[in-house]
Chain A
Amino acid sequence: MKLAAVRPPAIEIEGLHRSFGSVQALKGVDLEVAAGEVHALLGPNGAGKTTLMRILSGLVDPTAGSAHVLDRRAGRSPELRALIGMVPSGDRTFYLRLSGLENLVFFGRLHGLRRRAAHARASELLDAVGLGEAGLRPISTYSHGMQKRLSFARALLSDPQLLLVDEATHDLDPVAAQQVRELASERTRNGAAVLWATQRIEELHGFAERVTVLDRGTVAFAGSVTALAAIGGGDRHILQFGSAATIPPAVLDGLGSLHPAPGEDASHALLALAPGASLGAAIAALTAAGAEIVSCRDERPPIERAFLAVTTERAA
């Protein structure tokens, strides 16, 4: 069942196209994001994520197709822009000679806040993104990560119903990235929708509900994060053996199969588990056959495998 069927849709896109000269950045993209949902937009460089974000925020017009945001046609209407918070992918979107606080107050006033209210909101958001102490310093002294957090704070100034986030955690350390994701999740608990463009596949689990994978301007996958992970195939693990014992294939008896581990030495092997088989049972069978297992680790997270599968399959 579509999420948008049970919750009102925040974004509805059908057959969206955008060309820049001879380059087709988007080729018939469909997308639905429900209110209260974190929807991840995954894709390699040049997939069209930023173009999509810019169309939704009214910065770029689509060449063809339709894009509706919060029941309105995506575009330049000030009423719509008042409902959207945008974290752009680029750096240097602030006045570097001014402090973080003054920048936020300025943008707050452009969102219609009176000066006192803008100041209070700016101070509150600076604290929320961990920049409370740096707020009075000129932005020229901020690191990229600090500017990104400030950008996130700016997007929240108007208490938006839709948050468009383009690579927000790209320059952040793990703690700051988690902090920013938590702020986004908090918005969804208040009913806002979040479209989260990222290349950090590992941040999807436990954060995004659904994911759309864009690849060269088209949708390569759309569904739940769990469904994407399932495309990555069954569990695959790298085993390290303590001795070079020869293990007959029949030992695993339907639990899976052993293969040479790519990029590893001869003491390692790739264990591909059969669907439904448990890792414990496979290791027990190998140990019983005389194998000394020194270590065991995931070959690659399932979402990453799935991402590579849906994008490289198409390339092939």
Chain B
Amino acid sequence: MSVLVAEARKVPAFMRRDFLVMLSYRAAFAGDLFYIAIQAVMFGFVAELIDPSKLPSYGGVPASYFDFVMIGVVITTVCTVLLQRVAMAVRQEQMIGTLEALLVTPTSATTVQVGSVAFDLVFVPIRMALLLAAVALTLGLGYEASGILPSLVLLAGLVPFVWGLGLMTAAAIVTFRRGTGPLGVIMSVLGLASGAFFPLALLPEWLQRLAQANPVAIAMEGTREALIGGVGWAAIGSDFIVMVVLSGAAMFAGVAAFRVALAREHRRGTLGLY
């Protein structure tokens, strides 16, 4: 237990490091925010073209396309950034030459991995929430405040799934030194079968069945029920259990794959090489 506490105390050090690094790239940070804001404005215009009757209703409330798609944009962005960060955290340390310096400290590889993601895990949802608030104030979003907490719970249930996928990708990257290809494929499939930008009902039937077991789609639909439909905690239905089970399985498989990949690199003596 004391070991766990000691390791957990190191995580804020990683968060501070990443915060300071982010501050040192102010232009990139501002550019990133600008890009997301432009995306929001763009979808605002696209929403004008879409007939709301073609969209599903949530909790009996018909959704506008803008309300519908902004939830898709936010959850997709959180998933993409998190997946990318988890997958590339160790690789990035390898590339800049700091991985071995980290691993000769009494810090476990798991702490290095978790620590390297911790800042984004906290910062990205905050950033997206601020964006939603800004869009709601300027362009108008009809979300129910009672849906905020259930939405956060849904997001929390989704995080281990994305993290697990990220760890599996990280294992492939540590082993093969490449991995952006698989990363892109994973994100494309998950994005397509998540209903982020269009209703799932438009998908072919087989893909709709796949979407029923896609934790990203489950989180997205649940969030829409909560924020657009205002159904409160009823948004967390039986499919939430499916999401939690899949998240647990993905996390377990990810941790196992990552450990095997690190042990292999130790044996080969190539961990610090890029």
Contacts and interface: CB of A to CB of B under 8 A. Distances in A.
A107 interface: yes
Contact of A78 (B97, B101, B106): B106
Interface in A236-292: none
A90 interface: yes
A71 to B, nearest CB: 17
A227 interface: no
A100 to B, nearest CB: 13
A109 B98 contact: no
Interface string A58-90: 111100000000000000101101101010101
A154 interface: yes
Contacts of A297: none
Contacts of B268: 20
Contacts of B271: 59-60
B4 to A, nearest CB: 12
Contact of B24 (A20, A81, A98): A98
Contacts of B108: 78
Contacts of A18: 269
Given A78-B106, A109-B13, A88 B101 contact: yes
B272 interface: yes
A112 B106 contact: yes
A92 interface: yes
A93 B6 contact: no
Interface in B1-29: 3, 6, 9-10, 12-14, 16-17, 20-21, 24-25
A106 B17 contact: yes
A81 B186 CA distance: 37
B104 A84 contact: yes
* Among A18, A106, A138, residue most surrounded by chain B Cβ atoms (within 10 Å): A106
A97 B101 CA distance: 16
Contacts of A81: 104-106
A149 interface: no
B104 A92 contact: no
Contacts of B6: 112
A57 B6 CA distance: 21
Contact of A95 (B96, B106, B269): B96
B261 to A, nearest CB: 15
A221 interface: no
A146 B152 CA distance: 47
A169 interface: no
Given A97-B24, A98-B20, A138-B24, A59 B266 contact: yes
Contacts of A107: 101, 105
B103 interface: yes
Interface string B97-122: 11011111111100000000000000
Contact of B269 (A51, A78, A138, A154): A51
A74 B143 CA distance: 58
B24 A78 contact: no
A54 interface: yes
B101 A60 contact: no
Contact of B266 (A51, A76, A91): A76
A24 to B, nearest CB: 12
B7 to A, nearest CB: 9
Interface in B231-274: 266-269, 271-272
Contact of B98 (A60, A95, A111): A95
A116 to B, nearest CB: 13
A94 B101 CA distance: 8
A96 B97 CA distance: 11
A69 B257 CA distance: 30
A78 B109 CA distance: 10
* Among A60, A92, A96, residue most surrounded by chain B Cβ atoms (within 10 Å): A60
Given A78-B108, A110-B105, 13 more contacts: A54-B269, A58-B103, A59-B104, A78-B3, A78-B107, A82-B106, A92-B96, A95-B96, A106-B17, A107-B105, A109-B10, A109-B13, A114-B9
Interface of A: 18, 20, 51, 54, 57-61, 76, 78-79, 81-82, 84, 86, 88, 90-98, 102, 105-107, 109-112, 114-115, 138, 154, 158
Interface of B: 3, 6, 9-10, 12-14, 16-17, 20-21, 24-25, 96-98, 100-108, 266-269, 271-272
18 contacts: A51-B269, A59-B100, A59-B266, A60-B271, A78-B3, A92-B97, A93-B98, A93-B101, A95-B17, A98-B17, A106-B17, A109-B10, A110-B13, A110-B105, A110-B106, A112-B6, A112-B9, A112-B106
